[in-house]
Amino acid sequence: MKHSVNRPPTPDGAEDQGNEPTLQEIINIKLIESGEKERLMELLRERLIECGWKDEMKALCRSYVKKKGRNNVTLDDLVHLITPKGRASVPDFVKAELLQRIRSFLMSAAL
Amino acid sequence: MSGPNEDNNTQLSSHIFGDLLDSIIVDVASECHRIAKLGLDRNLEEEEEEMRLSAQARARVADPSNSSETNTKYVVDIFGQTHPSVATEIFECMNCGRSIAAGRFAPHLEKCMGKGRKARLKVTRSSTAAQNRYSRGSPVSTYSPYSNSTSTNRLSNGTPSVAGEEYSNGTYEEPWNKT
């Protein structure tokens, strides 16, 4: 009996913490279900190829592989290699376009 | 509602954009990883191959058991040809008229023109004045067609350099360079 009195109620705990992740989760689900996430991904991919970003990343990978020898390279290595540079080198106009699209989706999703 | 929502929206948008970008980054990395592991990048392979071959060639050059080109039985030149260590082309000796193999020509000339007992007898018979200067003798001037004439340079008597000047070709090629 003491146990059940002292133990915090589980459902309440989840509700108290869970607002932000839940909102994001909801939005994520909406993005995926409406197909918008797929469209946004394709749009971003296309823009990144057009502006040469993908080629830059591939060149980075290639030189790393050449340096280390192709049998010593793990996927993890490459991801860690590209992530900081990749995030920093997205052109502003590409980022702006995507953010615009996402924001208008959020508006239309009207929470 | 619009105030905090706006900020939320901006933050959310950035977060969503970050997610999309991360996914694409992983895709690109995965593609490059696949290409690397499968050896599909031709340039990479070619360079590795070239580096391997140049390292091999360097090792061969540095190897003391290979004495440059003279170890020719097993060494292949850049055209993929091997040469026997003794040149095998056959010429006519201008002095005695015999057919001699190119690789044996110098020793033959030694005997034929100079240091042998029999040879000296021959020389004194033909031209007394030019006993030690074989270069000006008539046999030499008939030798022009052969670019291989420079094997006379091999004579240790010291005459060869003078003999060489007589030749119209003026070539000083080593026999190995003949194709």
- Residue ranges of domains in chain A, CATH in brackets: 24-109 (1.10.246.140)
pLDDT of residue A78: 94
pTM: 0.49
* Whether B20 and A41 lie within 8 Å, measured CB to CB: yes
Q: How many residues does chain B have?
A: 179
We report the CATH number of the domain holding residue B108 as 3.30.160.60
Q: Indicate whether A69 pLDDT > 90.
A: no
State residue B178 phi and psi, 5-degree precision: -70, 135
Q: Indicate whether B99 pLDDT > 50.
A: yes
Q: How many CB atoms sit inside 10 A of residue B160's CB?
A: 19
H helix intervals, B39-155: 42-62, 105-109, 117-126, 138-141
B170 in the Ramachandran plot: left (φ > 0), alpha (ψ -120 to 50) or beta? left
Q: Kindly list the residues from chain A whose CB atom is less than 8 angstroms away from the CB atom of residue B44.
A: 62, 65-66, 70
Q: Give the mutation candidate from B9, B21, B34 for the A interface (greatest A CB count, under 10 A).
A: B21
Residue range(s) defining the domain that contains residue B42: 10-60
- Tell whether B34 is covered by a domain: yes
Q: How many CB atoms sit inside 10 A of residue A48's CB?
A: 24
Q: Do B55 and B96 belong together in one domain? A: no
More confident call, B42 vs A53: A53
Number of domains in chain B: 2
- Tell whether B102 is covered by a domain: yes
Q: Do B24 and B54 belong together in one domain? A: yes
Q: Do B14 and B45 belong together in one domain? A: yes
Q: Do B87 and B55 belong together in one domain? A: no
Best-predicted range by mean pLDDT (A60-69, B16-25, B92-101): B16-25
- Tell whether B39 is covered by a domain: yes
pLDDT of residue A61: 93
- Tell whether B98 is covered by a domain: yes
CB B168 within 8 A of CB B147: no
